[in-house]
């Protein structure tokens, strides 16, 4: 199920994005990127519509998913 991020309390959204960024372990090369910058990057993807928040009832988790991948797999495949 897609969660309309615009309807979330700003603190809740920020906590979800921080959790996602910390779980991802994304490599940013040789430069250090702060947690706040990483969260802002994901927030921009939500604002631009290139990513969405997806709740998996099966896994009872929320994940950030590229919108382009939604048609290729069932929503419950996106676990966090």
User: What does the alpha-carbon distance between residue 26 and residue 31 come to, in Å, rounded to a whole number?
Assistant: 12
User: What does the alpha-carbon distance between residue 79 and residue 58 come to, in Å, rounded to a whole number?
Assistant: 8
User: What does the alpha-carbon distance between residue 73 and residue 79 come to, in Å, rounded to a whole number?
Assistant: 12
Kindly indicate the confidence band of residue 30, based on its pLDDT and cuts at 50, 70 and 90. low
User: What does the alpha-carbon distance between residue 77 and residue 27 come to, in Å, rounded to a whole number?
Assistant: 23
Please tell me the pTM assigned to this model: 0.77
In this prediction, residue 43 carries a pLDDT of 97
């Amino acid at each position: 199920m897609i969660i309309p991020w615009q309807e979330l309390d700003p603190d809740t959204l920020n906590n979800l994005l921080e959790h996602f960024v910390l779980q991802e372990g994304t490599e940013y090369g040789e430069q250090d990127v702060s947690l706040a910058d990483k969260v802002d990057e994901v927030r921009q993807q939500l604002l631009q519509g290139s990513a969405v928040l997806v709740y998996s009832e099966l896994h009872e988790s929320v994940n950030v998913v590229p919108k382009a991948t939604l048609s290729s797999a069932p929503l419950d495949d996106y676990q966090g």
